């Protein structure tokens, strides 16, 4: 089974792209929601997060205080590294478990992760796709979707590798600028991956 990684900066549209692959019947593992899920379920991880970032990292009902954590980690590189070091190994384990239940006749799977290149998990994929969009389009999308300020979006962008560097590591590019057809690009890649999967 071919493993395809897919990433893109904040607001690039990687989740939107993955939804199209899902319609084509391709199983997709979403690392970001998986991280969020583990952060409220894994007792060891919860204890580690509280110890590092304070009891207020969680509300009394056990839900994650995203604002509190975002305020700390997206304004301080060292704090972000600490959070990543706590969360990412647990997400890798989640991916391994997910893969085990995929039927063996599946041609390929997709792993969607905002930090595919930054975390090194791209090395575990056979092929990696980068979704790109112009910076002003990405910023406008996230402001609209999340209701946060331009400064907050830019602070998150600054914590991710620039697209120029990601392009060097990616095998394929999807341009989601709302001018080039997204569906045609996905169908083109899907066809290529199916052909590769046969030879794999």
Ligand X SMILES: Nc1ncnc2c1ncn2[C@@H]1O[C@H](COP(=O)(O)OP(=O)(O)OP(=O)(O)O)[C@@H](O)[C@H]1O
153 lies in the binding site for ligand X (CB under 6 A): no
Q: Which does 91 bind (CB under 5 to 8 A by kind): ligand COD, ligand X, none?
A: ligand COD
Token pair belonging to 19 = 């939804």
Which range touches ligand X (CB under 6 A), out of 8-16, 49-57, 60-68, 116-124?
Answer: 8-16
Q: Which one-letter DSSP state was computed for residue 122? A: G
From 31, 26, 14, 16, select the one nearest 131 (Cα to Cα).
Answer: 14
Cα(102)–Cα(78) distance, rounded to whole angstroms?
A: 37
Q: Where is 93: in which H helix or E strand?
A: helix 77-100
182 forms beta bridges with none
Helices and strands (DSSP H and E) totals, the chain? 9, 5
Of the candidate residues 2, 6, 10, 46, the single one contacting ligand X (CB under 6 A): 10
35 lies in the binding site for ligand X (CB under 6 A): no
Please enumerate, by residue number, every residue annotated as part of a binding site. 11-16
Please enumerate, by residue number, every residue annotated as part of a binding site for ATP. 11-16
Q: Minimum distance from CB of 150 to ligand COD (Å)?
A: 14
Q: Site for ligand X (CB under 6 A): how many residues?
A: 15
Q: Which does 111 bind (CB under 5 to 8 A by kind): ligand X, ligand COD, none?
A: none
Q: Which is nearer to ligand COD, 39 or 174 (CB)?
A: 39
Q: Judge contact between 83 and 53, C-beta under 8 A.
A: yes
- Phi first, then psi: what are they for 65, rounded to 5°? -90, 80
CA torsion sign, 8 to 13 to 15 to 21?
negative
Binding characters for ligand X, 82-121, by CB under 6 A (x = yes): --------------------------------x-------
- Positions touching ligand X (CB under 6 A) are 8, 10-16, 114, 141-142, 145, 176, 178, 182
């Amino acid at each position: 089974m071919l493993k395809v990684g897919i990433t893109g900066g904040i607001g690039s549209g990687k989740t939107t792209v993955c939804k199209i692959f899902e319609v084509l019947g391709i199983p997709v593992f979403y690392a970001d929601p998986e991280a969020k899920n583990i952060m409220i379920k894994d007792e060891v991880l919860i204890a580690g997060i509280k110890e590092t970032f304070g009891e207020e990292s969680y509300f009394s009902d056990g839900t994650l205080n995203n604002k509190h954590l975002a305020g700390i980690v997206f304004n301080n590189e060292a704090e972000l590294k600490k959070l990543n070091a706590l969360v990412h190994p647990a997400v890798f384990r989640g991916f391994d478990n997910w893969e085990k239940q995929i039927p063996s006749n599946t041609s390929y799977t997709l792993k969607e992760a905002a930090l595919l290149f930054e975390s090194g998990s791209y090395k575990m994929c056979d092929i990696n796709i980068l979704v790109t969009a112009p910076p002003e389009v990405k910023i406008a999308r996230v402001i609209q979707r999340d209701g946060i300020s331009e400064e907050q979006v830019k602070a998150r962008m600054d914590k991710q590798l620039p697209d120029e560097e990601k392009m060097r590591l990616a095998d394929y590019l999807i341009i989601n600028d709302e001018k080039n057809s997204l569906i045609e690009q996905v169908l083109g890649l899907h066809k290529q991956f199916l052909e590769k999967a046969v030879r794999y």
